[in-house]
């Protein structure tokens, strides 16, 4: 697991390992305070049988319980009005007892850089 690091894409960013490549997001999303989980099979990836990237397995299969991993679903503030009800229907279709909320964090992303309270 990794805590997402929110970065200003217009500034130089130092990578602190492989997880930084997949656990970074634009600073205007800092209010999400997101965590990401990653699963990989190191022995399989380091095996000599994969000589070319296209030979790598497409993914790993494992069981999860979304109800235990997801506490709420947020819809972006720029989405069309029909999106939140659709997301609600998808959540209901899979019998998940998870609230669907619409973000009110609509902010011009060009102004984010002038917000020191959003710096990470």
DSSP per residue, 46-81: T-TT--SGGGS-S-------HHHH-S-EEE-TTS-T
What one-character DSSP code corresponds to residue 4?
P
**In the chain, where the domains are located:** 2-118
pTM, 2 dp: 0.52
* pLDDT (tens place) for every residue of the chain, 120 residues total: 888 989 888 887 777 777 777 888 988 888 888 888 877 666 655 555 555 666 666 667 778 898 988 889 989 888 999 999 999 999 999 999 999 999 887 655 555 445 445 443
**With contact defined as beta carbons under 8 Å apart, do 83 and 73 qualify?**
no
| Angstrom distance (rounded) from CA 113 to CA 116 | 7
| pLDDT for position 112 | 46
Q: What is the DSSP string of 8-45?
A: -TTS-----STHHHHSEEEGGGGGG--EE-----HHHH
């Amino acid at each position: 697991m990794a805590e997402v690091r929110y970065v200003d894409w217009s500034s130089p960013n130092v990578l602190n390992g492989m997880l930084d490549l997949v656990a970074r997001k634009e600073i205007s999303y800092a209010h999400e305070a997101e965590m990401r989980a990653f699963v990989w099979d190191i022995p399989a990836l380091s095996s000599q049988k994969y000589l070319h990237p296209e030979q790598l397995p497409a993914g790993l299969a494992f069981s999860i319980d979304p109800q235990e991993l997801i506490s709420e679903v947020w819809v972006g503030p720029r989405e069309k009005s029909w999106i939140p009800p659709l997301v609600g229907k998808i959540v209901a279709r899979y019998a998940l007892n998870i609230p669907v909320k619409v973000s009110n964090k609509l902010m011009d992303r060009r102004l984010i850089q002038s917000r020191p309270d959003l710096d990470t």
